[in-house]
Chains A and B, each alone.
Chain A
Amino acid sequence: NAGVTQTPKFRILKIGQSMTLQCTQDMNHNYMYWYRQDPGMGLKLIYYSVGAGITDKGEVPNGYNVSRSTTEDFPLRLELAAPSQTSVYFCASSYYQRYEQYFGPGTRLTVT
Chain B
Amino acid sequence: GIQVEQSPPDLILQEGANSTLRCNFSDSVNNLQWFHQNPWGQLINLFYIPSGTKQNGRLSATTVATERYSLLYISSSQTTDSGVYFCAAPEETSGSRLTFGEGTQLTVNP
Contacts and interface: CB of A to CB of B under 8 A. Distances in A.
A42 B100 contact: yes
A110 to B, nearest CB: 14
Interface string B46-90: 001000000000000000000000000000000000000010101
Q: Which 4 pairs of residues, A with B, have the shortest CB-CB distance?
A: A42-B100, A100-B48, A45-B97, A103-B43
A74 interface: no
Interface of A: 31, 33, 35, 40-45, 48-50, 56, 58-59, 88, 90, 92, 94, 97-103, 105-106, 108
Given A31-B95, A105-B42, A98 B90 contact: yes
Contact of A102 (B30, B45, B97): B45
Contacts of A50: 95
A45 B94 contact: yes
Contacts of A56: 94-95
B102 interface: yes
A105 B105 CA distance: 19
A106 B96 contact: no
A41 B102 contact: yes
Given A41-B102, A42-B103, A105-B42, A48 B94 contact: yes
B42 A42 contact: no
A101 B108 CA distance: 27
A90 B101 CA distance: 16
Contacts of B102: 40-42
18 contacts: A33-B95, A33-B98, A35-B98, A40-B102, A42-B4, A42-B86, A42-B101, A42-B103, A43-B88, A43-B98, A44-B100, A48-B95, A48-B97, A49-B95, A50-B95, A102-B45, A103-B35, A106-B42
A82 B97 CA distance: 25
